[in-house]
Amino acid sequence: MRAAVLHEIGQDKLEVLDDVEAVGFGPGKVKIRVRATGLCHSDLSAMSGVLPQPAPFVPGHEGAGEVTDVGDGVTGVGPGDRVLVCWLPACGACPSCKRGQTHLCLAGLMNAGTPNFKRPGGDVFGFAGTGTFAEEVVVDAGCAVPIPDDLPYEVAALIGCGVTTGLGAAINTARVEAGSSVAVIGCGGVGISAIQGARVQGAAQIVAVDPVASRREAALRFGATEAVAPDALADAKQRVTAGEGFDYVFEVVGRAATARTAYETTRRGGTLCVVGAGAMDDLFQVNMFELFFDEKRILPSMYGGGDVLRSYERAVALWRAGRIDLEGLITHRVRLNGINDALDQMRTGEALRTCVEI
């Protein structure tokens, strides 16, 4: 079957190959014919080495499709069921799951060290244990989450990562209060989802910050009350908050420099919510005086920071009610053959989300 493979970390092009096979099917596993997958910034970060990932690997972790086969002991889904791929399934038994912090369960990510595919050249891994830039994937039963019939595959795919991450940051982690002021730094698919989450929560002002003009225009369509380039953020802080700083600032870039700007843009006692996934050697610095004296809350948000399955259901309910726009996030569509052009559009910041039809 076809899949897009990165041969070595640091390369910027994928090779679309026809000789790849999904492996590992057996008890407790589900085989999925992937129909749509979103291109998430984390795929680029894994390719460049910012996020740890063994190679060669098939990127993609934001997908949806139909179940074609299930292994012994799988009861939740069967052949023909429509599902989205959850890259961080909760095991239900580890200390994090027992505490109710199922988004911190590491059981699923432990599979990331086991090859998901093979080809004549040898083993091939799947990003985050999935690898949805492929016609077929084999995943743990917990990764195959049934979706309702009215949810298109391409929208379900986005709920599998970017939408859940952004909405959850605003609703679960920061718990944005009605009437508050919000700034969102970084307005790709995840940042736009944080904007929509802040709007759903009733924020009064939402300032979108991004260097790319097309993303600033998009942010306004999705609920930002104004959109500025990064060099105009200090002025917006002065104008919107009388210089005090925003109640909530979302960092959706994943760099220490923008996190520091976000920290300085947050009011005393306000909340800095860190959503971007950054590198292990990129250090965020806060001095001990300001940390104590300004009492700013620094809240990281991983995969939306709440129960993942509950967050999926909430995204579907909000989408069905017309309270959030998910179709509008998809600015580009490609087939697997066009994946390298899509990666370039992601790098330039042209695309909010590219849907890869498979």
Dihedral-angle region of residue 351 (phi above 0 means left; psi in -120 to 50 means alpha; beta otherwise)? beta
Token readout for 63 is 């997908």
346, 39 in Cβ contact below 8 A?
yes
Q: Does 132 bind Zn ion (CB under 5 A)?
A: no
Q: Does 169 bind Zn ion (CB under 5 A)?
A: no
Cβ closest to Zn ion, residue 37 vs residue 205? 37
Cβ closest to Zn ion, residue 91 vs residue 256? 91
Q: Does 159 bind Zn ion (CB under 5 A)?
A: no
Q: Does 161 bind Zn ion (CB under 5 A)?
A: yes
Amino acid identity for residue 82 in this structure: R
Q: Does 91 bind Zn ion (CB under 5 A)?
A: yes
Compute CA 298 distance to the chain's CA centroid, rounded to the nearest angstrom.
20
**Minimum Å distance from CB 156 to Zn ion?**
14
- Pairing type for strands 226-228 and 205-209 reads parallel
**Minimum Å distance from CB 8 to Zn ion?**
22
Q: Which stretch binds Zn ion (CB under 5 A): 5-13, 100-108, 122-130, 280-288?
A: 100-108
**Minimum Å distance from CB 125 to Zn ion?**
16
Q: Does 212 bind Zn ion (CB under 5 A)?
A: no
85, 137 in Cβ contact below 8 A?
yes
65, 36 in Cβ contact below 8 A?
yes
Q: State how far the Cα of 289 lies from the Cα of 131, in Å rounded to an integer.
A: 44
Which of 85, 84, 154, 135 has its CA nearest to residue 336? 135
Which positions from 105 to 124 touch Zn ion by CB under 5 A, shown as an x/- string? Answer: x-x-----------------
Give the sheet arrangement for strand 122-126, strand by strand.
21-22, 117-119, 122-126, 57-58
Amino acid identity for residue 28 in this structure: G
**Minimum Å distance from CB 50 to Zn ion?**
13
Q: Does 164 bind Zn ion (CB under 5 A)?
A: no
Token readout for 267 is 């009011």
Q: Out of 3, 40, 249, 275, point to the residue binding Zn ion (CB under 5 A).
A: 40
Cβ closest to Zn ion, residue 140 vs residue 247? 140
Q: State how far the Cα of 26 lies from the Cα of 355, in Å rounded to an integer.
A: 30
Q: What does the DSSP 8-state code read for residue 108?
A: T
Which of 273, 276, 272, 274 has its CA nearest to residue 295? 272
Q: Does 273 bind Zn ion (CB under 5 A)?
A: no
Q: Which stretch binds Zn ion (CB under 5 A): 68-76, 99-107, 251-259, 271-279?
A: 99-107
Q: Which stretch binds Zn ion (CB under 5 A): 9-17, 65-73, 91-99, 178-186?
A: 91-99
- Pairing type for strands 29-38 and 136-140 reads antiparallel
Q: Does 97 bind Zn ion (CB under 5 A)?
A: yes
Q: Out of 37, 42, 130, 181, point to the residue binding Zn ion (CB under 5 A).
A: 42
Q: Which stretch binds Zn ion (CB under 5 A): 74-82, 83-91, 205-213, 287-295?
A: 83-91
Cβ closest to Zn ion, residue 94 vs residue 279? 94
Q: Map tokens 């026809």 to a residue.
A: 18
Q: Does 16 bind Zn ion (CB under 5 A)?
A: no
User: Using CB under 5 A as the criterion, which residues of the chain lie in contact with Zn ion when the complex forms?
Assistant: 40, 42, 91, 94, 97, 105, 107, 161
